[in-house]
């Protein structure tokens, strides 16, 4: 025997997951009522509802962590399931025969004050009738009486059953499904009831994204128009807005797109997950066409698939718009960077011209410095020569100054060049 200490902490929980939400045993004739209650992400509300129902009949409710609960209350069986965004209640009553099978639904056994607690949150409400007999013709008066509003949808399912419905919400607020046992094996009736309930429930959960997609379409159109306007201004030589103003508007647009994505991404992703479940449950029915009426698969393909494509398109538009805003922002920043670099280049060119002018001025000043130094040098030399002549030396002052002038000028120029060279070297 394997000791519990050897088990992974999640082993038993994961092993039990495959047995979660088992099929109910339903035998014809029977009536069922199915409710799907939207609870959002409030997991405790789902448990409060089943707890309140059980308390009314003195039955111990399931634990807080339970995901499903099945109990026979004597006059009616109840199956409760908890999901991420909703919980479902399926009431089943067996052995009821009547000329009008939808006249006394199984939901009549639910307390009225308990039903009032569901106010404003019931997303799916349907009545199902399970009966046995021969296959029905789609033009039979009985079917026309049950489903007067077109279109009538029907098919042979699971190699021994029939499903008839119009997917309409009647004046009583419930949709109707007629399930016929024309050769079902044991347990298949309960499986058929659950599959039909799941198709209707997940169909409505998937369609929750459609109003969101429609509401976001107008906002997306406005934001796409604003982005087109801002993108056009970037390439204009004379922009109506400054780069700072365009960048400010782009940042605001990016924030709005991101906020919309955060609000809608979960709904769109959940819609695709629910839609995949609907397709899987329809495939489980293994439908066979009844000539003259569309199958459930065909009905969903014509009605539900376009709605889901609308949601996919809205989600894709959001992602595309966010990417375009990011590229436009990068383009604007690149243009601003290039403009800044061009401005810096012009400043450098201006500084270069100024340096060249200073160098030319410096050369001019150096020429004047050579002349000035030579002049003062010759002036000093003249005083010396005149002093020597006063002492009686045979000196021709003018001739001596004339000979000394080019020599003094050359020595002065050479000395200044040496000084500049030494300063540049250091």
Tokens standing for 379?
């002036």
φ/ψ region of 179 (left if φ > 0, alpha if ψ in -120 to 50, else beta) reads beta
Q: With 90 as the cut, is the pLDDT of residue 227 above it?
A: no
Tell which wins on pLDDT, 54 or 16: 54
Tokens standing for 210?
């459609």
| Residues 122, 36: Cα–Cα separation, whole Å | 6
Q: With 90 as the cut, is the pLDDT of residue 237 above it?
A: no
User: In the 8-state DSSP scheme, what is residue 137?
Assistant: P
Q: With 60 as the cut, is the pLDDT of residue 126 above it?
A: yes
The pLDDT score that the predictor gives to residue 412 is 76
- What is the maximum alpha-carbon separation in the chain? 162
Residue 113: band (very low, low, confident or very high) from pLDDT cuts 50, 70, 90: very high
Q: With 70 as the cut, is the pLDDT of residue 270 above it?
A: yes
Mean pLDDT estimate for the chain? 85
| Residues 33, 313: Cα–Cα separation, whole Å | 35
The pLDDT score that the predictor gives to residue 395 is 72
Residue-by-residue DSSP string for 184-222: PPTTHHHHHHHHHHHHHHHHHHHHTHHHHHHHHHHHHHH
Tell which wins on pLDDT, 302 or 399: 302
What does the pLDDT average to over 155-171?
93
For the domain spanning 209-346, the CATH number is 1.20.58
Q: With 60 as the cut, is the pLDDT of residue 240 above it?
A: no
Residue 286: band (very low, low, confident or very high) from pLDDT cuts 50, 70, 90: very high
Tokens standing for 416?
């200044």
Tokens standing for 93?
């009553």
Least-confidence region, from 42-51, 213-222, 330-339, 368-377? 330-339
Tell which wins on pLDDT, 217 or 403: 217
């Amino acid at each position: 025997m394997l000791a519990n200490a050897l088990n992974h902490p999640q082993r038993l929980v994961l092993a039990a997951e495959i047995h979660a939400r088992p099929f109910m045993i339903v035998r014809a004739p029977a009536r069922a009522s199915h409710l799907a209650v939207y609870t959002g992400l409030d997991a405790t509300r789902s448990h409060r509802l089943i707890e309140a129902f059980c308390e009314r009949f003195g039955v111990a409710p399931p634990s807080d962590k339970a995901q499903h609960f099945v109990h026979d209350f004597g006059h009616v069986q109840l199956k409760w399931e908890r999901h991420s965004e909703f919980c479902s209640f399926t009431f089943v009553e067996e052995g009821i025969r009547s000329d009008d099978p939808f006249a006394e639904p199984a939901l009549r056994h639910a307390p009225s004050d308990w039903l009032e607690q569901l106010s404003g949150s019931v997303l799916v409400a349907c009545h199902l009738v399970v009966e046995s007999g021969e296959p029905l013709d789609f033009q039979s008066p009985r079917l026309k009486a049950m489903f007067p509003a077109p279109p009538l949808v029907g098919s042979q399912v699971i190699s021994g059953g029939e499903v008839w419905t119009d997917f309409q919400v009647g004046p009583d607020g419930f949709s109707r499904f007629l399930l016929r046992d024309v050769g079902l094996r044991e347990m298949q009736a309960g499986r058929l009831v659950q599959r039909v309930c799941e198709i209707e429930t997940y169909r409505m959960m998937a369609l929750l994204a459609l109003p969101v997609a429609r509401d976001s379409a107008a906002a997306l159109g406005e934001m796409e128009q604003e982005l087109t306007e801002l993108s056009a201004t970037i390439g204009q030589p004379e922009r109506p807005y400054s780069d700072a103003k365009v960048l400010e508007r782009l940042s605001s647009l990016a924030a709005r797109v991101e906020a919309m994505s955060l609000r809608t991404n979960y709904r769109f992703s959940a819609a695709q997950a629910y839609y995949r479940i609907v397709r899987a449950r329809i495939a489980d029915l293994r439908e066979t066409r009844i000539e003259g009426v569309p199958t459930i698969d065909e009905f969903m393909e014509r009605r539900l698939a376009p709605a889901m494509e609308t949601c996919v398109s809205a989600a894709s538009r959001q992602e595309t718009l966010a990417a375009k805003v990011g590229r436009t922002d990068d383009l604007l920043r690149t243009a601003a960077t290039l403009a800044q670099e061009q401005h810096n280049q012009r400043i450098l060119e201006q500084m270069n011209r100024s340096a060249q002018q200073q160098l030319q001025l410096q050369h001019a000043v150096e020429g004047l410095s050579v002349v000035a130094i030579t002049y003062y040098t010759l002036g000093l030399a003249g005083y010396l020569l005149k002093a020597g002549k006063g002492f009686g030396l045979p000196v021709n002052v003018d001739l001596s100054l004339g000979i000394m002038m080019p020599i003094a000028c050359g020595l002065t120029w050479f000395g200044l060049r040496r000084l500049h060279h030494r300063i540049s070297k250091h």
